[in-house]
Structure 1
Amino acid sequence: MRLDGKVALVTGSSQGIGQGIVLCLAQAGANVVINYRSHPEGAEETLAKVEAIGANCHLACCPQSYGYTLQANLGSVDEIRQLIAESIKHFGKLDILVNNAGIEKHAAFWDVTEADYDAVMNVNLKGVFFATQIFVQHLIETKRTGKIINISSVHEELPFPNFTAYCASKGGMKMLTRNLAVELGALGITINNVAPGAIETPINTKLLNNPEKLGALLQNIPLGRLGQPQDVASLVKFLASAEADYITGSTFFVDGGLLWNYQEQ
């Protein structure tokens, strides 16, 4: 599954799953835009790893991939518009959009503030909506097909007490994807969701350092381990490739079986 000559924008890719996706796409030959909001050091680390991939590829049949870092808050439509415009200016085009950026806020439903609700919805749903719209406008203007992959969550299906706004945003993403699969199909543009379960990333540091909570979670995962960013990234690479040209409007769960075995403790 090669992506030579393709250009991919991965939002929220300075660490964790986003970083894993960038590296996987770069290994497949894609040029990559590394987006970050507030941690430029993470974006630079990701960029260095992309450059190392290129430096280690000496075969003529394996063209070097290039990376480019751009700051943007995915909760702002103006910043999204600038992010995509700068990506196109740098590489000349975009072929693949991975909507990975996302946030969550922990609170009992009756304690959720308007500010926290807006923050979650603006990044997780509004940001995805308009990043996808602006990307599609670019494809229409340049008369090309393209791939959209949204990083959703098992919580587009699975209730998650004390994270209601997050679950609502991922449920909205599921319906957005289904609707756009129908609307964009005639343009040759595919859109799919990848829905991770429990993945070992920096956001889960507290969990990883709590043996009791980690043990309880692992009991809910039939495969008996947390996922790794590469587990998610490999599927994203497939969906971004020509081998997935007939797949659209679907959600693919990457959760070790968690969704069908979960019991709230």
Structure 2
Amino acid sequence: MSLPSTPSFRLDGKRALVTGGTRGIGLGAAVALAEAGAHVTVAARTAADVETVVNQMADAGMAAEGVALDITDVSAVRAFIAEAEPFQVLVNSAGGARHSSFADITEVDYQAVMALNLSATLFVSQAVVGRLIQAGLPGSIIHVSSQMGHVGGPNRAVYAASKFAVEGLSKAMAIELGANNIRVNTICPTFIETELTAKNLSDPAFRQWVLSKIKLGRLGRVEDIMGPVVFLASDAAQLVTGASLLVDGGWTAE
């Protein structure tokens, strides 16, 4: 009898692109992928932030470069990816939220959230996938979704709508791209302590409501997302596609 060998979690020799990679979950994903051996390109809107993160990663011995890119500018995204070597790992982490009651949703807020959370995710993925297919390379596309892509929440109609859409997009992509050995999955965090969530979580009543829903009794940390990103990017997840990896402390278990 021969024993099976565990597939590698290493990413040596792979190129990875992380959008929104200068802070929060995106920064955690960039560092995790680089620590696993990938050459990481950090993309974000602000050039100074990109430079700071890339320099810090380089100082820590990680292979990283950066690009200042507005990912809602489809033409700019296509031009950048067309000129770059193919990315075998893509983490769509850039995202945003504009919370309000359903009655107070404005067209401006709706369009802004959908443009960043859904449209940019779709068109960045389309450009990356096109290069992979052209080169005949396998790939792993990871969309940072949310537990709110599986359940609703008060004052989150637009945000939830955008993340439910990302979940559907991911499954449809997985069906189409499986023949090209390109896997597509989502990571669905609960409330992670980041700059994006800091304002809401500073409200004691809201914070207590959140904690009451998380069965493990604590808020998420960026570090909680890093392992799942490496797993989905690696050969350890070779048969995982069209899946949603819920990192929600049990929020959606009931």
Fold conserved between structures, TM > 0.5:
yes
| Residue in structure 2 matching 1:253, options 220, 242, 246 | 246
The whole-number CA distance in structure 2 between the counterparts of 1:214 and 1:161 is 14
Amino acid at match of 1:52: D
Structure 2 stretches lacking a partner, 5+ long:
1-8
3-state SS of 1:70 partner: strand
Aligned counterpart, 1:57: none
What letter matches 2:56 in structure 1?
K
Q: Which residue of 1 aligns with 2:175?
A: 182
Alpha-carbon distance between aligned partners in 2 of 1:183 and 1:93, rounded to the nearest angstrom: 19
Q: What is residue 70 of structure 1 aligned with on the other side? A: 67
- Alignment identity in percent? 39
Cα distance in 2 for partners of 1:164, 1:47 equals: 35
How do residues 7-156 of structure 1 correspond to structure 2 at under 5 angstroms?
7-37=15-45, 39-54=46-61, 65-86=62-83, 88=84, 92-156=85-149
1:26 touches 1:53 (CA, 8 Å); kept in 2? Answer: no
SS in structure 2 of the partner of residue 4 of structure 1: coil
The structural deviation recorded for 1:150 is 0.4
Give the ranges of 4+ consecutive aligned residues of structure 1 lying more than 4 Å apart after TM superposition.
Answer: none
Of 5, 13, 19 in structure 1, the residue corresponding to residue 13 of structure 2 is: 5
Amino acid at match of 1:161: P
* In 1, Cα distance between equivalents of 2:56 and 2:251: 31
Cα distance in 2, alignment partners of residues 206 and 184 from structure 1: 39
The DSSP-based 3-state class of the residue aligned with 1:94 is: coil
Note if contact 2:86-2:128 (Cα within 8 Å) is conserved in structure 1. Answer: no
Partner of 1:195: 188
Q: Shift in Å at residue 51 of structure 1?
A: 1.0
Secondary structure of the structure 2 residue equivalent to 1:18: helix
d(CA) in 1 for partners of 2:80 and 2:245? 27
1:208 Cα deviation from its structure 2 partner: 4.2
**CA distance in 2: counterparts of 1:248 and 1:100, whole angstroms:** 18
Spell out, residue by residue over 1:16-65, the C-alpha distance to the aligned partner (whole angstroms, 9 max, x if none).
Answer: 0000000011111111111112x3343233213311331xxxxxxxxxx4
Q: Note the residue ranges of structure 1 that are not aligned, 5 or more in a row.
A: 55-64
